[in-house]
């Protein structure tokens, strides 16, 4: 599947940062991870921390799927508000899923420090009402988060302006958020772990997969076998090729990034991550090299061509959306792109075993905060591979679908 189009900024800026070989031999391993993006990279890192040998194979050059198209906001809030999620899956599970995402932000920050990756910044996050009709829901969401100990403030209209420099009927200010570069984080993880024995192969498409009670065998398009005890599917939205449950709805999202701005930073007060209550929601952040990134205007995915044909018109609409919020900032789009992502009924990822495919695990970080979901998935899967029960696995299992 063609997962992206246009000019993703992280790819334009950083290019092909590392070379990885193609698999050209039969091989055996304990665990094979199919997919070398951020989900695969985090899973491999966690497995190696546990002393479990593994290899990664990817059909593309590393990072050139959804990872390079990511806008890399790190937020604990998932696509469904906490108070609504509690009604769907129960308060305990909903709060735990939010808490795990909050913890994941801190863990990602510490992991970046450990491997010497510097392109990650902690930020506050402002979730603002796109219209007055959304204020009541925002109050319910604030009450739910406050009740369970999340670091949030409720802001009335005047205070929104004082804190951010923008006008909105109300907002929730969260202390816990961050931003990064998923593409470069992925490569940094691979380079760190290759030095510790990880094998990473790209341009290695898998033709056939055989699951059995003894293990898994994968045949590459070039005719080489990989024999493993376990297989981790970290293929993201291409998972529809491997499972027969309708677990994900594919959508297209759009993003644009400005030219380098000559304005003095911050471009809005406190340089926060910004996103709103609209559906689909608009989100905005700055970059370390003095640009503004905006995204949203999602559409149901029908075909790559229909998705890609909308890039120009969607970019114009995103710029217009931004200028309604910050009319004094002259946002001139330099690069724009589109990517395919998936949404689920409860906004949560699918992580763990799938009964029809023995000796396999799935790390599918669907939704707007796939990076934090990927870290959660890595921790759960490492436990399961080790034969340990993970207390959070049930929240994200296929059994709930």
User: 2 pLDDT exceeds 70?
Assistant: no
For the segment 344-353, the average pLDDT, to the nearest whole number, is 91
| Same domain flag for 61 and 49 | yes
> Which SS3 state, helix, strand or coil, does residue 141 take?
helix
Is residue 226 within 8 Å of 23, Cβ to Cβ?
A: yes
| CATH number where 13 lies | 3.50.50.60
* pLDDT value at residue 369: 79
Q: Which of 169, 139, 164, 166 is nearest to 154 (CA)?
A: 139
> Which SS3 state, helix, strand or coil, does residue 105 take?
helix
| Same domain flag for 383 and 297 | no
User: 378 pLDDT exceeds 80?
Assistant: yes
For the segment 345-373, the average pLDDT, to the nearest whole number, is 88
Alpha-carbon distances of 40 from 13, 182, 348, 373, rounded to whole Å: 22, 12, 18, 12
| Same domain flag for 211 and 196 | yes
| Same domain flag for 238 and 358 | yes
Residue 52 lies in a domain: yes
Based on the number of CB atoms within 10 Å of its own CB, is 303 exposed (0-12), middle (13-18) or buried (19 or more)?
Answer: exposed
- Please tell me what DSSP assigns to residue 63: T
- Displacement of CA 250 from its chain's centroid (Å): 14
| Same domain flag for 257 and 339 | yes
Residue 375 lies in a domain: yes
C-alpha 44/C-alpha 32 separation (Å) is 9
Q: What angle do CA 266, 268, 269 make, to 5 degrees?
A: 85
* pLDDT value at residue 367: 65
Tokens in use for 271?
């340089």
C-alpha 95/C-alpha 86 separation (Å) is 7
At 229, phi and psi to the nearest 5? -75, -40
| Same domain flag for 363 and 297 | no
Is residue 363 within 8 Å of 74, Cβ to Cβ?
A: no
Residue 32 lies in a domain: yes
C-alpha 40/C-alpha 193 separation (Å) is 12
| Same domain flag for 254 and 339 | yes
Q: Which residues pair with 85 in a beta bridge?
A: none
Domain count, the chain: 2
Residue 303 lies in a domain: yes
pLDDT above 70 covers a percentage of the chain that reads 96
> Which SS3 state, helix, strand or coil, does residue 261 take?
coil
For the segment 163-182, the average pLDDT, to the nearest whole number, is 97
User: 241 pLDDT exceeds 90?
Assistant: no
Weakest-pLDDT range from 59-63, 117-121, 197-201, 299-303: 299-303
For the segment 197-215, the average pLDDT, to the nearest whole number, is 96
C-alpha 282/C-alpha 220 separation (Å) is 41
Last residue within a domain, chosen from 324, 343, 362: 343
Q: What is the residue range of 335's domain?
A: 249-268+284-343
Tokens in use for 169?
């009927």
Q: Which of 303, 322, 315 is nearest to 254 (CA)?
A: 315
Residue 105 lies in a domain: no
Residue 172, number of CB atoms within 10 A of its CB: 23
User: 328 pLDDT exceeds 60?
Assistant: yes
């Amino acid at each position: 599947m063609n997962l992206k189009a246009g000019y993703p900024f992280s790819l334009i800026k950083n290019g092909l940062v590392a070379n990885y070989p193609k698999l050209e031999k039969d091989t055996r391993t304990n665990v094979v991870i199919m997919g070398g993006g951020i989900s695969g990279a985090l899973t491999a890192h966690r497995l190696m921390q546990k002393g479990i040998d593994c290899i990664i194979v990817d059909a593309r050059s590393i990072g050139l799927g959804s990872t390079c198209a990511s806008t890399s906001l790190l937020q604990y809030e998932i696509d469904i508000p906490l108070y609504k999620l509690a009604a769907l899956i129960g308060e305990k599970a909903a709060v735990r899923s939010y808490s795990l995402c909050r913890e994941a932000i801190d863990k990602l920050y510490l992991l970046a420090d450990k491997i010497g990756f510097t392109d990650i910044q902690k930020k506050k996050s402002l979730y603002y009402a796109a219209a007055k009709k959304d204020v009541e829901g925002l109050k319910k969401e604030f009450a739910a988060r406050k009740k369970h100990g999340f670091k949030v403030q409720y802001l009335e209209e005047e205070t929104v302006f004082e804190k951010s420099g923008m006008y909105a009927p109300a907002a929730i200010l969260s202390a816990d958020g961050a931003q990064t570069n998923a593409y470069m984080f992925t490569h940094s993880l691979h380079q760190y772990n290759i030095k510790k024995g990880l094998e990473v192969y790209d341009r290695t498409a898998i033709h056939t997969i055989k699951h059995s009670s003894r293990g898994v065998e994968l045949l590459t398009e070039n005719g080489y076998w990989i024999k493993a005890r376990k297989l981790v599917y970290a293929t993201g939205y291409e998972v529809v090729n491997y499972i027969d449950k309708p677990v994900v709805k594919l959508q297209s999202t759009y993003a644009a990034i400005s030219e380098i701005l000559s304005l003095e930073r911050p471009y809005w007060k406190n340089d926060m991550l910004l996103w709103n209550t609209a559906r689909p929601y608009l989100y905005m952040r700055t970059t370390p090299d003095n640009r503004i990134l905006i995204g949203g205007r999602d559409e149901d995915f029908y075909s790559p061509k229909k998705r890609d044909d909308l890039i120009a018109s969607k970019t114009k609409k995103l710029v217009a959306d931004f200028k309604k919020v910050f009319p004094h900032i002259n946002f001139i789009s330099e690069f724009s792109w589109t990517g395919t992502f998936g949404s689920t009924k409860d906004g949560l990822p699918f992580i763990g075993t799938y009964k029809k495919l023995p000796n396999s695990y799935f790390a599918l970080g669907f939704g707007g905060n796939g990076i934090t979901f990927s870290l959660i998935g890595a921790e759960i899967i490492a436990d399961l591979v080790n034969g340990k029960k993970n207390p959070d696995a049930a929240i994200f299992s296929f059994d709930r679908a």
